Structure 1
Amino acid sequence: MTCQFSIKTFDELTSVDLYHILKARSQVFVVEQNCAYQDMDEVDFDCLHLVAHKDEALVGYCRIIAPESSTSAANTLPMPRIGRVLVLPKYRGEGLARQIMTHAIKHCRKKYGKKPIAISAQTYLLNFYESLGFVRASEFYLTDGLEHVDMVLPIIKKSKAKNLKLGGSEGSGFATKLLSFLLLILSLMFIAGLIYLMT
């Protein structure tokens, strides 16, 4: 699905923007999930609001919380958080949630530098967030009656990133050394066999 993405501070949102954001959040997190809780909170004032539009209609959303405003139970380091991730039901199954998260992650990296990124994920979405590189950082816990888990997207070190680009893994260094050692042994055995045959 092709969408347009916008990121605005709370003060940059128009009243129409805010209406559609709060309507979508209420539709997904309160009505659809049958969870009576106070969605609107003071955090919204300090967030960046990422909206996915299709033909000018809101189809998906998330908010980005700055590291200074964010605390994580899993880590005491200040890190940005992504929250309230949603895709309206009509637009699900087309990869839009992945696009939203990818945009949010890129924006966090650009705005806040190389810091881990935290989320509080509903546990039924654990595999989705793991596919984006997030790792579990807590035990499961209940928030407003729904099971959640803290997750963190760590920073990949350059050496690991090089291995990943080359199709290797952390164990590939060991495998290379083992193969080199075996080739050396075979070469020595071959030379020893030649010497034996010549004498």
Structure 2
Amino acid sequence: MDWWSGPFDELGVRNLHDLLMLRQQIFIIEQNCIFSEIDGLDPVSLHVIGTRNGQIVAATRIVPAGVDPHHHEQGTDPAIGRVVAAMEVRGKGIGRKIMQQSIEACEKHFPDQGIFLNGQYHLAGFYQGLGFVSEGDPFDEDGIPHIAMRRPAPAK
């Protein structure tokens, strides 16, 4: 597995196509959620991509603090979102790997800040194992129960 992280402008056209295709396959088709997948935040986000044999099989995006007008609870921390893994790599630890890569990217690009995410509620234990703490009550997002979670900033 090869990993890359960087800004949108360094994705390249082919990777952008493959990333959007993977997210569409999982979020819209598999999860049957009709929502605005292309929401204008990708160009201002940091992206983390895992490839196998040149094909994108896992990805996240990291939205800088204060950029997403729909997630005021994000506060002053960057937010990991659009966490996705292709069907063929699930069950092999890829979720943990993409999250670890994303946490490392946050620590590199946004040092001394916590990390926010809205995780699917049934995955709260998984995210807790990565240092995230639940905030508030579960809520519905696109027909799927979610929970706001935050990984505290590193102690100084």
TM-score (norm 2): 0.92
> Does the alignment pair 1:18 with 2:16?
yes
Q: In 1, distance between residues paired with 2:6 and 2:114?
A: 22
Q: Give the root-mean-square deviation of aligned CA atoms.
A: 1.5
- Return the match for 2:101 from 100, 103, 118: 103
Shift of 1:69: 1.9
> Does the alignment pair 1:40 with 2:38?
yes
1:85-96 aligned within 5 A: 85-96=83-94
Q: In 2, distance between residues paired with 1:23 and 1:146?
A: 21
What are structure 2's unaligned runs of at least 5 residues?
none
1:27-50 alpha-carbon deviations (Å, 9 max, x no partner): 111111111111111111101111
> Does the alignment pair 1:129 with 2:127?
yes
1:135-186 alpha-carbon deviations (Å, 9 max, x no partner): 101211111111111100013536xxxxxxxxxxxxxxxxxxxxxxxxxxxx
Q: 1:66 matched to which residue of 2? A: 64
Residue type of the alignment partner of 2:118: S
Residue type of the alignment partner of 1:45: P
Which has more strand, going by share of residues?
2
Q: In 2, distance between residues paired with 1:132 and 1:73?
A: 23
Q: 2:5 matched to which residue of 1? A: 7
User: Which has the larger Rg?
Assistant: 1
1:43-92 alpha-carbon deviations (Å, 9 max, x no partner): 1110111110011111100001112425754463x111100001101101
Larger RCO (CA within 8 A; separation ≥ 6): 2
What is the number of equivalent residue pairs in this alignment? 155
Q: Cα gap change, 1:145/1:115 in structure 2, threshold over 3 Å: closer, same or farther?
A: same
Residue type of the alignment partner of 1:100: I
1:103-161 alpha-carbon deviations (Å, 9 max, x no partner): 11111111111111000101111111011110101211111111111100013536xxx
Q: Cα gap change, 1:32/1:75 in structure 2, threshold over 3 Å: closer, same or farther?
A: closer
TM-score (norm 1): 0.73
In the TM superposition, structure 1's runs of 4+ consecutive aligned residues that sit over 6 Å from their partners are none
- Secondary structure of the 1:69 match is coil
Shift of 1:13: 1.8
Q: 1:54 matched to which residue of 2? A: 52
Q: Is the 8 A contact 1:70 1:79 kept in 2?
A: no
What are structure 1's unaligned runs of at least 5 residues?
159-199
Percent of aligned pairs sharing the same letter = 32
Q: In 1, distance between residues paired with 2:62 and 2:73?
A: 18
Which has more helix, going by share of residues?
1
